Structure 1
Amino acid sequence: MSEITLTWEILTVIGVVAFAVSGSIAAMEERYDVLGIIILGLVTAFGGGGARNLLLGIPISNLWEQSNLFIIAILSSLFVFFLPNLWFHYIKQWMFFDAVGLAAFSIQGALFAVDMNLPIIAVVVAALLTGSGGGIIRDVLAGRKPLIFRDEIYGLWAMLAGLVIGLGIVSTPIAFYIVFLLVVVLRMLSVYYGLRLPKKPIYRKNPK
């Protein structure tokens, strides 16, 4: 097994666990039952990969070949569900898990596109969709406005990860892990300092 392949698999497992946990926590905050918690965990963990496959013309059925990852996601969701209330408040800030999933899957999506010899724009979009697609579906199913379109900077970090990978600036396992840490740190700094992209709301006039 090559180092790049090993890096791919490690990032995939990290992303699945992190997003399954974040989806499960969001479900518990919305008072979903155990089945809803598992489903939201699975959708968050694999929604981004499904969106990426649609973009790149890869059969969605390929997701079902990852049975071990589905088991890992289900176990992660059950872990959150059965976690004693005494400890639950320590992980309730699911933004951290969302940042970890964003970082892992954005790199994984970019590597996927690079491996297919796709142009740089496809690499960037693959990173964005893989890193944030599951979170978008999670927020919609949880009745929330998607995180990527509001509040702190989110999708931009995934796009930057895809850009540096697509341009060949990083190409070694250690470099990928550095990018992973940078995306996590930048995402959490966005949350901590409330960094936002510019907005331009449109205010409607009151009808006469």
Structure 2
Amino acid sequence: MEMSVSYLIELLGVIVFTISGAFSAMQKRFDAFGVLIIGFVTALGGGTIRDVLIGYTPVSWMRTANLPLITLVTGILTIFFKQYIKNLKTTFIIFDAVGLGLFTMIGIQRGVAEGLSPEICIILGTITGSFGGVLRDILLNNIPQIFRKEIYATACIVGGIVYFLLISTFDKNIARLVTISLICGIRLVAVRYNLSMPKFYA
């Protein structure tokens, strides 16, 4: 049961982040190959950096064809339904927020499985949730969201803290659901009401 829940979270994360990346690439008018590559990088980039940092090699997506295949199929479907997706003004924001919550949870769980401290697990969760988007934005020639005023990585950190507070009292699956929902909610509320971190100028 433990493995199935973790794997389901990972699959959902890969799907929503692939859609997020592919949609962003289509907004930049990339060709089909470019759209698929950006979707792949967005979905698996953060996890790749996480696995390299903890010495988990070959990295996750190289151990089975499932994850790359899912990104490929999801990317193709995103292209196929591009007109429908294009008409959804909040598509990018919603999928990005959901992916952020799911992937942060994946990173935290990987850190826990490695026996790392809660602080390091939260950092790994933030990397897993945020750095696929960082790579996406760099390849799209955008300033990464994590480095702008928007509340992005902060949502991952808050969610990670809440997760470790919850697991001492509640079932792990409940803690996961609450954490994912909280991260997603923080991100969406921040975008909706234009909330931001303080800005500093030189």
Residue 194 of structure 1 aligns to a residue whose secondary structure is coil
CA distance, structure 2, for counterparts of residue 82 and residue 47 of structure 1: 24
Residue 43 of structure 1: aligned partner:
41
CA distance, structure 2, for counterparts of residue 87 and residue 17 of structure 1: 14
Residue 93 of structure 2: aligned partner:
95
Corresponding letter in the other structure for 1:200: F
What do residues 93-135 of structure 1 show as CA deviations (whole Å, max 9, x unaligned)? 3011011110001011001101111012211110100001100
What do residues 47-96 of structure 1 show as CA deviations (whole Å, max 9, x unaligned)? 01011112212214442113112111111111111115255312663011
Asked if structure 2 preserves the Cα contact closer than 8 Å seen for 1:124 and 1:162, the reply is yes
Deviates more, 1:151-160 or 1:85-94: 85-94
Q: Normalised by the size of structure 2, how large is the TM-score? A: 0.92
Q: Structure 2 unaligned runs (5+)?
A: none
Decide which structure has the larger Cα Rg and report it.
1
Residue 115 of structure 2: aligned partner:
117
Asked if structure 1 preserves the Cα contact closer than 8 Å seen for 2:149 and 2:198, the reply is no
Residue 178 of structure 2: aligned partner:
178
CA RMSD in angstroms, aligned pairs only:
1.7
Q: What is the 5 A alignment of 1:11-22?
A: 11-22=9-20
Residue 190 of structure 1: aligned partner:
190
Q: Normalised by the size of structure 1, how large is the TM-score? A: 0.90
Residue 5 of structure 1: aligned partner:
3
Corresponding letter in the other structure for 2:14: V
Residue 128 of structure 1: aligned partner:
126
Q: Structure 1 unaligned runs (5+)?
A: 203-208
CA distance, structure 2, for counterparts of residue 36 and residue 86 of structure 1: 20
Residue 142 of structure 1: aligned partner:
140
> Closer, same or farther in 2 for the Cα pair 1:84/1:59, shift >3 Å?
closer
Ranges of 4+ aligned residues in structure 1 off by more than 6 Å: none
CA distance, structure 2, for counterparts of residue 72 and residue 153 of structure 1: 29
Residue 104 of structure 1: aligned partner:
102
Corresponding letter in the other structure for 1:26: S
Residue 205 of structure 1: aligned partner:
none
Q: How many corresponding residue pairs?
A: 200
Residue 161 of structure 2: aligned partner:
163
Shift in Å, 1:22: 0.5
CA distance, structure 2, for counterparts of residue 86 and residue 50 of structure 1: 31
Shift in Å, 1:137: 0.2
CA distance, structure 2, for counterparts of residue 30 and residue 178 of structure 1: 34
CA distance, structure 1, for counterparts of residue 102 and residue 8 of structure 2: 9
CA distance, structure 2, for counterparts of residue 62 and residue 90 of structure 1: 32
